[in-house]
Chain A
């Protein structure tokens, strides 16, 4: 085992310069979504894979949004590890406030700058590289390794990971998923709160704004509804002990990474009124109003339970009706899964980081695996200026995370023979 580890670390060390160049090239190939044309960015990755002789395919319903699917078998039977990252990025945020060219990939004081440099071209590049290193070592591995680099993550669209898990489940689900979204390298995320998106429409007769006796007001009803919906946030949810334990143990780290209050937010139902649109003119009494509620459910409740509560609130308000835009069951993977142990040990050994398993507030494509029963874990670098001006990645930290990714995958694919 130790010889495999050393062999892998030697490959990484030899490739370090090329790897940094790969990340620069990847950042310089724009892939903002929307619109989501990722072809040039994809070709940067496929050129790397081709040069190392590994097999791959490009798949997807939209030719402008290719997904890379690559896979190999080890020398003997074992478990199937799937790697997942995305190629697309947010559109460049606040272009006028950057101090570096957002498409330049410049390295300044050890930081590589550019749109997507943090979210998540660094993570996807890391997975592509580790796939190729382990491909070269496949004769010594058990099981199977699959790489998915997808093109439609930023808008949770249908053409990326969702396409693969729906149409190529046999190839991409596997036994365990490792996702490399940025966050904090001192945490591994084993769960995500589940978004429940509900649109509420209010219809009334409407009339001239001076004639308030003639019609109920859609905007006022919506205001009262919003106030009533606040009761959802007061609901106490009994978290499953495994999740509650990690939140307790990781509270200070959660608050450090996601700012004070995050640990409390983690275990609670939260309500965001993401959109509120009603009326057309100041002096007309609105007959229509729409609000969009983004409710985040912790583990221990279900969308059905919540929708019953919301339905009861909506029913109290004249002319109000609701429709579900999006729903997911809150799920979590086992925080004591072997992959968590691999990441913890390797992070300790490579960087001296003590890694805690924590749930996550926001969503990643990992949920698509988790909701299909596959344990899924997210581990990556510190998210730095994601969706902001001067997005960047610290190369020193990244190269440590690259090693932790690679060694953890190696351990997962050699575990049976490692003892």
Chain B
């Protein structure tokens, strides 16, 4: 271990109460999205930086959804690392179902901190702020540049958050590497994500009284046929880069995926999947429906670009003249995003995590979408390491305090190693 790493670990231990308090207070400020109002939380995060003598800027194309950026160039030139997290969280659901009477209690019970957004991803975002503050104290021992970005509007697509920064402030975010604290569990570090292709199909028919089946096609029956035919997209075989194919075949990786995401997950990651998320057809039992809406959530693995799925969907639709389709996902995303599963930062995270948490995280591609995709789509490696994800979105969402501190340690030390003097 370097001197710097040992110093940082000691500083984290010494500041333990303050760091837990910071995570707790952050949790207590409600930031559900929708509606996505995050101004109070952003002010709280800004005050944390100010307390540590760090300047920041607020970039708020939508005033209610501010993004916070802190940027620090070190004296010696070197690489540019960007830390990224989000301030907004999932909606809280029914407040009465939370065990401490509120989704925003920040209560600590049996060593766990409870609240909506603790896992996704106030734990990770807090770790980014702490890492930035700690590294700022040791600027003379680092080279290159460190940028902290905490965005609003992640949960609803990122147009006014990370997407906005890439479009309007590329000099801040287009670094050499991105480190993100979205939940991953201690067992994995994430280097890629399948891409969602969300398609809305609308089936039209003439409609008629339900007894007069000779008068009209049925929009619901056509929809049933269509759904069965769409299953064919799951047979598309990916054409994967060798590094990704090797990674997905690695028994250690497969085991990590199956442990974390359930039996079958290792195959799911490598396949096109089709979810029919919604079907809505018909007004009355005794009317032949004139319209039926089918919403399909197709997930593309590395090696199956959207264009291939579109080609197949169009071929299927040639047999369905009364069906139209519209993409609901972002058309500019052309497929899965991934970066080097053997990259330097990935090794740094693995080594650091193994030392801190005693578990060497396996590099995996995941199923859920995060803002890391903006970096990967810009050909900048982006890695995710964070707390467990199994309670995300539940009424028991919580993070173990020790796990939170480990995420802080791994982020801080990994960033220090990446920016350390060579």
A-side residues, CB < 8 A to B, are: 193, 195, 197, 208-214, 217, 219-220, 222-224, 226-227, 230, 258-262, 264-265, 270-286, 289, 291-294, 296, 325, 361-363
Contacts and interface: CB of A to CB of B under 8 A. Distances in A.
B225 to A, nearest CB: 7
A279 B295 contact: yes
Nearest to B277: A282
B298 to A, nearest CB: 9
A349 B169 CA distance: 89
Given A213-B268, A276-B279, A283 B212 contact: no
A270 B367 contact: no
Contacts of B200: 282
B235 to A, nearest CB: 14
Contact of A286 (B263, B277, B288): B277
Contact of B228 (A208, A224, A291, A296): A224
B277 to A, nearest CB: 4
Interface string B33-70: 00000000000000000000000000000000000000
Size class of the B contact interface (CB-based, 8 Å) = 35 or more
Given A213-B263, A227-B225, A259-B214, 11 more contacts: A195-B210, A210-B196, A211-B262, A224-B228, A258-B212, A265-B214, A274-B210, A276-B280, A283-B196, A292-B285, A325-B285
Contact of A214 (B215, B262, B279, B292): B262
B277 A209 contact: yes
Given A214-B262, A272-B210, A362-B212, A222 B277 contact: no
Interface stretch (B128-136, B216-224, B340-348, B404-412): B216-224
A278 B367 contact: no
B380 interface: no
Contacts of B285: 197, 274-275, 292-294, 325
Contacts of A260: 214
Contacts of B276: 217, 219-220, 223, 278-279, 286
A77 B338 CA distance: 92
B210 to A, nearest CB: 4
Interface string B238-280: 0000000000000000000000011111011000011111111
Contact of B214 (A195, A230, A261, A291): A261
In order of increasing CB-CB distance, the 6 nearest A-B pairs are: A261-B214, A213-B264, A210-B367, A279-B278, A226-B224, A273-B220
A223 B286 contact: no
Contacts of B223: 223, 276
B287 interface: yes
A222 B279 contact: yes
A273 B275 contact: no
B194 interface: yes
B228 A270 contact: no
A325 B285 CA distance: 10
B275 A212 contact: yes
A234 to B, nearest CB: 13
A285 B277 contact: yes
Contact of A220 (B227, B292, B295, B299): B227
B296 A282 contact: yes
Q: Tell me which of B210, B223, B299 has the highest count of chain A C-beta atoms within 10 A of its own C-beta.
A: B210
Interface string B328-340: 1000000000000
B14 interface: no
Contacts of B328: 282
B120 interface: no
Contacts of A273: 218, 220-221, 224, 281-282, 289
B288 to A, nearest CB: 5
B282 A219 contact: no
Interface string B291-302: 010011101000
A204 B265 CA distance: 18
Given A213-B267, A214-B262, A275 B212 contact: no
A89 B225 CA distance: 36
A222 B282 CA distance: 15
A278 B224 CA distance: 12
Contact of A226 (B220, B263, B368): B220
B295 A270 contact: no
Contact of A289 (B196, B275, B279): B279
A176 B267 CA distance: 69
Contacts of A214: 261-262, 264
B367 A208 contact: yes
Contacts of B367: 208, 210-211
Contacts of A226: 220-221, 224
Contacts of A220: 227, 231, 276
Nearest to B299: A210
A361 B284 CA distance: 17
Nearest to B298: A209
A171 B285 CA distance: 33
Contacts of A292: 282, 285
B160 interface: no
B280 A264 contact: no
A221 to B, nearest CB: 10
A259 B224 contact: no
